[in-house]
Amino acid sequence: MAPTVEVLTSEMVVPAEEAPAGTIWLSNLDLAARRGYTPTVYFFRPNGDPGFFAADVVKGSLARALVTFYPLAGRLALDGAGRVQVDCTGEGAVFVTARSDYALDDLMREFVPCREMRDLLVPPAPAPDPPCALLFVQVTRLRCGGAVLALSMHHSVCDARGAAHFFDTWASIARGDAAAAANAPVPPCFDYTLLAARLARVVLYDHPEYKPEPEPVDAATAASDYASAVIVMTKAQVGALKARCLGASTFRAVVALVWQCVCRARALPPEAETRLYSMIDMRARLDPPLPTGYFGNAVVRTSVSATVGEVTSNPVGHTARRALAVTSQGDDYARSLVDYLEGVDAMNLPRSGISRAHLRAISWMGMSLYKADFGWGAPAFMGPAIMYYSGFVYVMNAAGKEGALALVLSLEPESMPEFRKVFAEELASLDVI
């Protein structure tokens, strides 16, 4: 019999102190973000403490974190013109406790992001349209004494870096850091007018990533039919790969190899177009830069196209140089995009899957998500609870393995076995010292 999860309690957690009221205007980048919740999971090993992930500690620290991150206790709403905004109502976040007959080692061995795992470990969320809550949390105690902490946060409010900022602050409050109990280590910034369109709009780029694909998306992709996998690259493998991609960042080097292997696994014809999509954090790239604690969506979609033959027949270093185009944008690109979005219906942009020939790669590297310690140790694993469609890869630091990376990938079910094979062959061919 498959392990199950039993929900024990479900309640609303409100800020521990009175928080600011009013409304928060959202930028065009917030409106252009995927309209929905981003569910993530964190697996924790038991440490012998009888208070390990006690519900009152987790709930109490969440209430204090919501004082500083008060928009998360509000509701997505519409202004008088029908534009999405946040109403800071202080109604709170949904907090669920549950128990499961899973053991942590079994769960970690079986886990891949999919609907079944999301439905087991993440609290159900409503339709992501106004009015709706912005944050859902579930603590699931496991048979072995371990725990799973799951979050589901509305993407219209913040991107992954903003979510990491909140999560790190919440964890520091839970473990009793005195400074964090009063204020976030880095105060969050909710002034999204910093990304407002200019009065005299200047659109310098075409921004095809925000337009419908010219060709129809494959039926299988549109139906979100995928297989997913979690693959770990060791520190030595990452170093050897970067040595083949001189001058490339770690992210570009890894994505270049994944792109090559995906094209091979899909058996795409050499003359076919393949496009690499990504999301780039613009906080430090703007002039002037955004405040360090900027909490909203500050990422922009980018892409580069090539023929399948160019991607697969050249050394991985060539493909990494090709991928430079998706990570090199600066202030003029971001401001052009914000101005472009001012002239379109940013709330109803295409947000479906991508063509079977393409790949979307997202970096979660350098974020503190996998280190978050609530007082009982860092997670044994963290990652997305679900993938939304085929052709998606997250690149993140591997929990507990300094310098190693975890790739969380989704592909068409018929392509995944071949991808695993060719990717393993490529890793084995690296000159690992």
DSSP codes joined into one string, 356-368: TT-EEEEE-TT-G
| Token code pair at residue 89 | 């109502």
DSSP codes joined into one string, 32-87: HS-SSEEEEEEEE---S-TTTT-HHHHHHHHHHHHHHTGGGGSEEEE-TTS-EEEE
Query: Residues 6 or more apart from 387 whose CB is under 8 A from it?
Result: 113, 114, 226, 228, 408, 410
- Distance, in Å, from the CA atom of 99 to the CA atom of 111, rounded to the nearest integer, reads 17
In the chain, how long is the greatest CA-to-CA distance? Answer: 63
Contact 242, 250 (CB under 8 A): yes
Contact 367, 40 (CB under 8 A): no
- The helix (H) or strand (E) run that includes residue 109 is helix 104-110
Torsion sign (Cα): 343, 28, 299, 275: negative
Of 59, 13, 37, 226, which Cα lies nearest the Cα of 124?
37
CA distances from 185 to 122, 182, 192, 247, 296 (A): 27, 9, 20, 33, 17
- DSSP-derived 3-state class of residue 305: strand
Query: Which one of 105, 119, 191, 373 is the catalytic residue?
Result: 373
Q: Residue 373 catalytic?
A: yes
Phi-psi category of residue 176: left, alpha or beta, with phi > 0 → left and psi -120 to 50 → alpha: left
Where are any strands of DSSP class E within 325-399?
359-363, 381-384, 392-397
Contact 289, 283 (CB under 8 A): yes
| Token code pair at residue 14 | 């409100």
| Token code pair at residue 80 | 């008088």
Q: Residue 87 catalytic?
A: no
Contact 17, 182 (CB under 8 A): no
| Phi/psi at 275 (5° precision) | -120, 135
Query: Which one of 154, 155, 165, 358 is the catalytic residue?
Result: 155
Residue 120 exposure: Cα atoms within 13 Å on the Cβ side: 23
Catalytic amino acids?
Answer: 155, 373
